[in-house]
Structure 1
Amino acid sequence: MVQTTEQIYIRLFEEKDAESLWQLEVRNRKFFEKYSIARKELFYTLEFQRELITTWKENEKKDIDYHFGIFLKETDVLIGSVNLYMVRREPAHNAIVGYVLDKEQNGQGYMTMAVKQLVDYAFNTLKLHRLEAGVMPHNIGSIRVLEKAGFHKEGIAKSNVKINGQWKDHQILAIINPND
């Protein structure tokens, strides 16, 4: 467990989380597709989620990606994920932040707590210098999450990510390790 704050905690995914992750993805498929890349049907199988977690564990060992589940403290139920992608070391020491939260859990402050815990892990455990996140400009809730976690707006990346067959602009936000 990384750190507990209020009602949630984050921890690196383990093989035992595959079924909960699969259920989260299936339950929120339409909701998540509005904001992320289109997934093939295979993605929505339990076996694929098991393989995904295995790959994530291998990537942690290689210091490439870190994938955390977001769990309700009281019940240990998985409600989302918060992740560090494309970790780069010398000379940048940075990573990209991504996250999803169960539609039913939105608006309760859980994602802000999870991002703050992720930032703490990235800066204090991994010793990264900078974290960056891209959000579609109309996704005000996600922008607020990042700002509450200490990120600042840097600009708009035009036609940055292809989502559901269309190139989308993204508001870029970043946070710098205050200890550097």
Structure 2
Amino acid sequence: MKTLTGKHINLRALELADLTFLYTIENDESYWSVSNTQKPFSKFLLQQYLENAHQDIYQAKQLRLLIEESKTTNSVGLIDLFDYEPKHRRAGIGILISPNNENKGYASEALEILINYAFTHLDLHQIHANITEDNIKSIALFEKFGFKKIGLKKDWIFINGKFKNELLYQLIND
């Protein structure tokens, strides 16, 4: 069995052919509040990013993978490990499923695959996720895989003229 292959999806490294999908996602303002983005990305800048995406997690301190359907190889989302700290054996995790691919089980399968990869191949001790308090779907998803709420950041995200609280979730590999 391949490590980054599931029953319905594969996780794979980003390629230049993914430029259009990445451009669409990165320039969708509805995601900016959770990705700390405040301006659009040009295709040129994203192409440069993809050309340098060959760096491994030890160099880049992050791992960004495309989520694609196994049968069709259609791009359905992205999943990331970020803020990788090898000494402390931890990383943050984030996931995004494009709106037309939500509620199909892709997020659950991708999260399960990446958790397994992080603990077995990267030897991480813990993974953490930051989720706004009103993101009920993400909270349910991460709790399904054993993530525990360990903190609350009050008024952490400012969007549409209002502050939102952000929850900190953690999964420790015992």
Distance, in Å, in 1 between the alignment partners of 2:111 and 2:9 is 11
Quote the offset at 1:164 in angstroms: 6.5
- Residue in 2 aligned with 1:103? 99
Gaps of 5+ in 1: none
Q: Deviations over 1:19-66 (max 9, x none)?
A: 33224445xx1432454434423x1x3222212223443363515111
Change over 3 Å in CA distance of 1:168–1:66 after alignment to 2? same
Does structure 1 conserve the Cα–Cα contact (< 8 Å) formed by 2:131 and 2:166?
Answer: yes
Q: Could you say which residue in structure 1 is the equivalent of 2:147?
A: 151
Of 72, 84, 88, the match for 2:85: 88
Give the 3-state SS of the residue equivalent to 1:84 in structure 2.
Answer: strand
Structure 2 distance, partners of 1:163, 1:15, is 32
Residue segments in structure 2 that go unaligned for 5+ positions in a row: none
107-116 or 166-175, larger mean C-alpha shift:
166-175
Corresponding position of 1:9: 10
2:30 matches 1:31: yes
- TM-score for both structures, normalised by structure 1: 0.83
Q: Please give the residue correspondences for 1:1-180 in structure 2 after superposition, counting only pairs within 5 Å.
A: 2-26=3-27, 29-33=28-32, 35-41=34-40, 43=41, 45-58=42-55, 60-62=57-59, 64-90=61-87, 92-161=88-157, 168-178=164-174
Q: CA deviation at 1:70?
A: 0.6
SS in structure 1 at match of 2:5:
strand
Provide the aligned C-alpha RMSD in A: 2.3
Alpha-carbon distance in 2 for matches of 1:167, 1:94: 28
SS of structure 1 residue aligned to 2:150: strand
> Counterparts of 1:38 and 1:166 in 2: how far apart (Å)?
17
> How many percent of aligned residue pairs carry the same amino acid?
25
Q: How far, CA to CA, are the matches of 2:30 and 2:48 in structure 1? A: 23
Q: What displacement does 1:177 show?
A: 1.5
Aligned length: 173
After superposition, the Cα gap between the structure-2 partners of 1:35 and 1:172, relative to the gap in structure 1 and judged at 3 Å, is same
TM-score (norm 2): 0.86
* Residues 101-139 of structure 1: per-residue CA shift (max 9 Å, x gap): 101111122111111111111111111100000100110
* Counterpart Cα distance in 2 of 1:50 and 1:2: 27
Q: For the Cα contact (< 8 Å) 1:7–1:74, is it kept in 2? A: yes
